[in-house]
Amino acid sequence: MTEHPSRVAIVTGAGRGIGAAVAERLASDGFAVGLLDLDEAGVKQGAEAIVAEGGKAVGVALDVNDAAQVEAAVTRVAEELGAPTVLINNAGITRDNLLFKMTEQDWDSVLGVHLKGSFLMTREVQKYQTQEKWGRIVNLSSTSALGNRGQANYSAAKAGMQGFTKTLAIELGKFNVTANAIAPGFIATDMTAATAERIGMSFEDFKAAAASQIPVQRVGTPEDIANLASFLVSDGAGFISGQVIYVAGGPKD
């Protein structure tokens, strides 16, 4: 598909996992894609793969928690690919621990990457969206926003992403910019594999245990998230804004 060959998307946290899958999907949809991540090798490899398939992409290393780096990265994407009008705020980290063991650094790091990072990225990209009078913002939340043991910081950040999304929808709607949040459940990625290792469980057993609690009886894949992101950034989703969509294989509150 080449729905919008002239449109440019930015995906943060695109070095691996969900971000890499979303970047690849948007490229196949016809978007030029800026892949941003702290992992420079990951995004450069991802961008090279997209170019090898005939697409347009650039990989840029940055810390989304640093305003100067964010401004420089978005400017580079705009200069090399064109005005970015699609933004996928996917960059995230975990620093899991029970509350009484959680350090201030654990708290600040997680909220900084998810919330401050998404704020900084959106503030830069909306300049192009409002000028073009068209835009799509997709923020990654999580089922952890509903509460999850050992993730007070991550849960707070992911719940914050939902409030952030709804406010963006209100403020930017008049510019034909929509904002929605995807809240994944269990997705098989390096991050969930690390969680399995941390609790002393094999990844296969960890996935099997999770799948047994999911109505569709399987865990999710990064492609499941990419499929929804592809729709939400399309023209067909232009009347959907301010929504939180749980992609978890079953209903969530």
Q: Which residues are catalytic?
A: 154
| E strand intervals along 111-176 | 135-140
Q: Burial, 182: exposed, middle or buried (Cβ in 10 Å; 0-12, 13-18, 19+)?
A: buried
The angle, 0 to 180 degrees and rounded to 10, between the axes of the packed helices 222-232 and 17-28 is: 50
Radius of gyration of the chain (CA): 17
Report the distance separating Cα 121 and Cα 2, nearest Å. 26
